[in-house]
Structure 1
């Protein structure tokens, strides 16, 4: 999209305000809203903001940053998301006043990973599967822990009370360029999934952030609260964000090899081997919260073991049956609290490391790892502290973020773990008060 096309769209839609969005270190979307009359300054990269209060960014003595809008990310925001207001949006990269990409900008970190892949001859395509829960609001409009339904997997209305909300989400996403594929009720009560067609690595990360914004706002229109918390309820399945990945070269899927017994190329196997090798260090980025590890436990359809399979969903990596241009593999441990830019960047670097080293992929796992004690198969970290320790030991994953972002991420997450570890929970009070 060029500048004149954007100007025409703003005039046609009578846009009054423009949101300049970016993502902080923890994966939360932030924005600066600017009157549409400032569009020339926006397009000339002149909008500045104070980054000192943004998690993982800069100190107060060096806080000025520039927002550079990605012109291809421009959309007219559907009115149902903005109470009928005429609003447009750009997704932005963050630059220093000296004109350099900011080292703590997650989007710029992903761009570097994609450039690394490009230099090796690969274009990265991704398809995410983010899940979420819907909870009712109270009389003041705040979320409760009361689910909006008690329906199960693939149920239909009237048992599935979220169907109309999901349909509205899908319609709104279509308006802003998503190619929708499917939506359905998930396994847990009140849990849902909406899928869209795969896209390039950067656009996929952008779409994950946009998806969360749309889901939350449409849910609020239905007097419900949407949460992407990985494990909001004890005894129920948690919410994952499986990521499907493939590499293309000259518009051909290089993961496919018709001559191989399982039709997987050496490149695919090496890339998967790289992801498995770095799985423990990756977990700090793909599963970045204390709550993330309450999903990654046996018995709830989330992976625990670092293994791969063709169709076995008990493994960290699964290769779907589709071949030809659709050949891909699915990384099953990420959850929707992950910063998509950082998580995807780290997965790419891990896979490329496997290709560079021509890493060997072991045999596919055929056992149901949920039901057998597989002492010969490595496991993922069991908590955030273990994941952070693994990340600090993994040079490939730490270098994926760069020194600045790596240190900021570790500082934030170690602080989170320390705060959590010092809490006294109701479970502890109930169990130990008699001691």
Structure 2
């Protein structure tokens, strides 16, 4: 179709940033949902250049799904959207397949037309059961309910920011073809902070950073990471549900930009043995009435007792929640102490091998950093696990808990056993969702070699939940 016949919305990056930051502020200010819905529906009805609304939601493993709705249909039918839940791993069996999809109108994004196509809006959805109640396997919905409950009961705002590492590899669909090639090819062989302005890695980082700014990420810094072809692009913190949404958008943007450049963005925790893996260091704090409750000027490492108790609860449940923070076979390759990996269940201001670190901070930035998180984990599951454990969990009577000689599992089978046997994970997720999640992780593990060995096996990529497709899974 000739492009001159189309009249779809295409905004400059400057205007995109202004609009997305305005929506972000409304979300931060907790503007009433009914008011937000009215504003968004009026905007969509009045803007003729929008052709479709892309609704995003995540399955139990954190895989992002997208549905495009015709704009006119969505405006008329936004209160009665349904989809087949039996096609989503971990949702519903075939005999009870129908689920509802509600729109979270606060999580609304204008996206660059050169990356996502013209005339489209992105918005996150909430999965509901057939009767309209919250669907227990939609962890985003569970997290949102928990966050709202903490604000209503205690006045707490749960804050998070993530440092998400990834690799860029040569060629399209490098992960899907790994079982054919047995290797990933770097696009750059530099290192930490080292990349010439015009090389493919730097061009990729620059483009992703531009898209992120346009979508209201409020970037802080970006750079090549330690390993060849590895990157990290940092942005500001946000309320916990918005922060988890941002993780999903971050990975989506990276994959889309890499694809347009003829490359593949990979968030496998350890796609190449012998170099540093990918982490998703999760920085967290809790505030009330604008005050950071983790800060105490005279406290140990300038942390309050509230923050130290939060850290103690995370350490107590470290083994129990390890599978939720490291959800794949491949993730346990990363928990290797030879590559700055955080496999020790302790807290430290200096030792980067600690599960929890205390970064240097001030009254505004004081926080805890949970380092033992892989970038392929379900971000909503990560946030729910960390905050609910830190606020509602128990503190162990282990002597010297914060510096005890304890270690995270080095394989998914031990992590699965800890997860299944823990009472806390039943409280965290509910018995039904816990069992569904464990069964999904068991299925992936059973298709892979039990011993990790010294090189990445095709199966741990082929049956990875972010790489998964029906054809590859059925080759087993």
TM-score (norm 2): 0.82
- Alignment of 1:281 with 2:320, yes or no, is yes
* The 10-residue stretch of structure 1 (22-31 or 397-406) with the greater mean CA deviation from structure 2: 397-406
Q: 1:211 aligns with which of 250, 264, 283?
A: 250
After superposition, the C-alpha distances for 1:223-251 in whole angstroms (9 at most, x for unaligned) are: 11000000000101000000000011111
Q: 2:146 aligns with which of 108, 113, 125?
A: 113
Tell me if the contact between 2:342 and 2:372 (Cα under 8 Å) persists in the aligned partners.
Answer: yes
CA distance in 1, matches of 2:174, 2:225: 28
Q: Structure 1: where are the runs of 5+ without partners?
A: 366-375, 430-435
* The 10-residue stretch of structure 1 (108-117 or 300-309) with the greater mean CA deviation from structure 2: 108-117
Q: When the two structures are aligned, how many residues end up with a matched partner? A: 416
Q: 1:50 aligns with which of 72, 84, 101?
A: 84
Deviation at 1:390, TM superposition (A): 0.9
Structure 2 counterpart SS, 1:130: strand
Identify the residue that residue 69 of structure 2 maps to in structure 1. 34
Identify the residue that residue 6 of structure 2 maps to in structure 1. none
After superposition, the C-alpha distances for 1:95-143 in whole angstroms (9 at most, x for unaligned) are: 1121101111111121243245333442110010111000011699986
Structure 1 residues 285 and 427, CA gap change in structure 2 (3 angstroms): closer
CA distance in 1, matches of 2:159, 2:376: 21
Tell me if the contact between 2:108 and 2:124 (Cα under 8 Å) persists in the aligned partners.
Answer: yes
Q: 1:238 aligns with which of 277, 297, 310?
A: 277
Identify the residue that residue 171 of structure 2 maps to in structure 1. 137
Structure 1 residues 269 and 173, CA gap change in structure 2 (3 angstroms): same
Structure 1 residues 163 and 48, CA gap change in structure 2 (3 angstroms): same
What is the 5 A alignment of 1:339-378? 339-354=378-393, 362=400, 377-378=405-406
Tell me if the contact between 1:205 and 1:341 (Cα under 8 Å) persists in the aligned partners.
Answer: yes
CA distance in 2, matches of 1:424, 1:244: 29
After superposition, the C-alpha distances for 1:330-358 in whole angstroms (9 at most, x for unaligned) are: 0001011100011110111211135x769
What is the 5 A alignment of 1:30-179? 30-43=65-78, 45-82=79-116, 84-118=117-151, 119-137=153-171, 145-157=184-196, 161-179=200-218
Q: Structure 2: where are the runs of 5+ without partners?
A: 1-35, 178-182, 458-476
Q: 1:389 aligns with which of 417, 423, 426?
A: 417
Give the CA RMSD over aligned residues: 2.6
CA distance in 2, matches of 1:304, 1:13: 53
Identify the residue that residue 370 of structure 1 maps to in structure 2. none
Deviation at 1:158, TM superposition (A): 5.1
Tell me if the contact between 1:110 and 1:345 (Cα under 8 Å) persists in the aligned partners.
Answer: yes
CA distance in 1, matches of 2:456, 2:297: 56
CA distance in 1, matches of 2:52, 2:262: 26
* The 10-residue stretch of structure 1 (143-152 or 324-333) with the greater mean CA deviation from structure 2: 143-152
Q: 1:199 aligns with which of 238, 262, 279?
A: 238
Identify the residue that residue 433 of structure 1 maps to in structure 2. none
* The 10-residue stretch of structure 1 (404-413 or 356-365) with the greater mean CA deviation from structure 2: 356-365
Tell me if the contact between 1:19 and 1:90 (Cα under 8 Å) persists in the aligned partners.
Answer: yes
Tell me if the contact between 1:248 and 1:254 (Cα under 8 Å) persists in the aligned partners.
Answer: yes
What is the 5 A alignment of 1:181-192? 181-192=220-231
